[in-house]
Chains A and B, each alone.
Chain A
Amino acid sequence: MPLDAMSDESDEALLMRYAAGDQAAAQALTLRLTPRVYAHACRMLGIPAEAEDVTQEALMRLWRIAPEWRRGEAQVTTWLFRVVANLCTDRLRRARGVALEAIPEPEDGQASAAEQMQEQSRAAALQAALARLPDRQRQAVILRHIEGLSNPQIAEIMEIGVEAVESLTARGKRALAADLAGKREELGYTDD
C-alpha cells in the first residue's frame, strides 16, 4: 500500500475531498488515521482484537459523517478520539463485570500478559500499569502524555472541564509512578 501522498493536506481538507468522491483521499485518510486510532484503542483496551473492532467502527462513523462535516467546527482527530473514547468506555463497562474480574492481578516478579508479549520492555510495563488505572485517568494520561494532545483538546474529547483533565492526569501519573517504582531496577533504571 503506498504511503500517504497527501501529507501536506489537513485531515479536514482530505475529509472534504473524501466526501466529494476522491478515492485517493479515502486511502490517505485510512493510512493517516488508522494507526493513531488503533494505537489509542489498544492502549485503552489492552486487547488487540477489541482494538481492531473499535478502530473499524470509529472510522466507519467518520466515513458516514463525512458528507455532513462542517468545516472548521471541530478537528477531525478530536472528533475521532471522542468516538474512540466512547466506544472503549462501552466495551470496558460491558467487560468489567466478567472478563476483567476474571483476569488475575499480576503478582510481584511475574510478568503481565502485555509484558510477556513485548519482552519486559518499558512500553509494556507502562501499558500494564496503565491497565491498572481507572478508565478516565488512563484515558487522560494516554491522550496527554502519549498522544500529546493539549488539555483543552482532551477536555473536549472527554466532555469535561480543563481543570478536571488536569486533576485526572495528575492522579493518573501519581498512580503510575507508584506502580512503576518497583520496576525501575528491573527495567534498567538507576537512581539519578
Chain B
Amino acid sequence: MTDKELETTDLSRFFEAAKQAPPTPPTALMHRVLDDARAVQPQGIRAPRQSFLVRRWREFAGAVGGWPAMAGLATATVAGVWLGVMPPAALPDATGAYLDLGGSSYLVDAAPDLGFDLVEEAL
C-alpha cells in the first residue's frame, strides 16, 4: 500500500476518531476561565441619570402619544403663532381688533390727587 493510499483510507478514520473523542476540559478549568472573564470584564456603561424635568417631559410626551404626536403639536403651535403675527390679507386682523388699534383710546386718571409731591411733603 502506498503512502497516498494510506492517507486517503486510514488517516481519515484516525482523524474522525480524534474528532469524536476530543480532550474534555476539566470542570475546574471551566470555572477558572469564567472567573478570569468576570474579573477583568469591563463594567457596563450606565445610562446618565435623568433630571426631574427631563423625566416629566418624557412622561408628558408619552402621555400625548409619543414623539409623533409631539411633532404634530409643535407644528400646530408654530403655524398658530405665524398666523397671529403675519395673518393673510383675507383674514380679519384679530390682534388689531382685540387691541382696537384702529379706534380712539382714552387715558383715565383714576386718582388725580395722588402724586409723588405728596410723598415728598410727608417726608
Contacts and interface: CB of A to CB of B under 8 A. Distances in A.
Interface string A22-55: 1100110111001100110011000010011001
B23 A22 contact: no
B1 A123 contact: no
A145 B9 CA distance: 14
A167 to B, nearest CB: 14
A18 interface: yes
B32 interface: yes
A173 B3 CA distance: 9
A42 B21 CA distance: 12
A42 B23 contact: yes
A146 interface: yes
B20 interface: yes
A125 interface: yes
B41 A18 contact: yes
Size bracket, chain B contacts = 35 or more
Contacts, number: 121
Interface residues of A, number: 50
A19 B42 contact: yes
Max chain B C-beta neighbours (<10 A), residue from A23, A26, A146: A26
Interface stretch (A58-66, A83-91, A101-109): A58-66
Interface string B1-19: 1010011011101110111
13 contacts: A21-B42, A23-B41, A30-B33, A35-B22, A39-B23, A43-B18, A52-B29, A123-B21, A173-B7, A180-B10, A189-B10, A191-B1, A192-B9
Interface of A: 1, 18-23, 26-27, 29-31, 34-35, 38-39, 42-43, 48, 51-52, 55-56, 59-60, 63-64, 66-67, 118, 121-123, 125-127, 145-146, 148, 173-174, 176-178, 180-181, 184, 189, 191-192
9 closest cross-chain pairs (CB), A and B: A21-B44, A177-B6, A122-B17, A42-B23, A38-B25, A26-B37, A39-B22, A126-B14, A123-B17
Given A18-B37, A27-B37, 7 more contacts: A30-B37, A52-B26, A55-B33, A59-B36, A66-B41, A123-B21, A181-B10
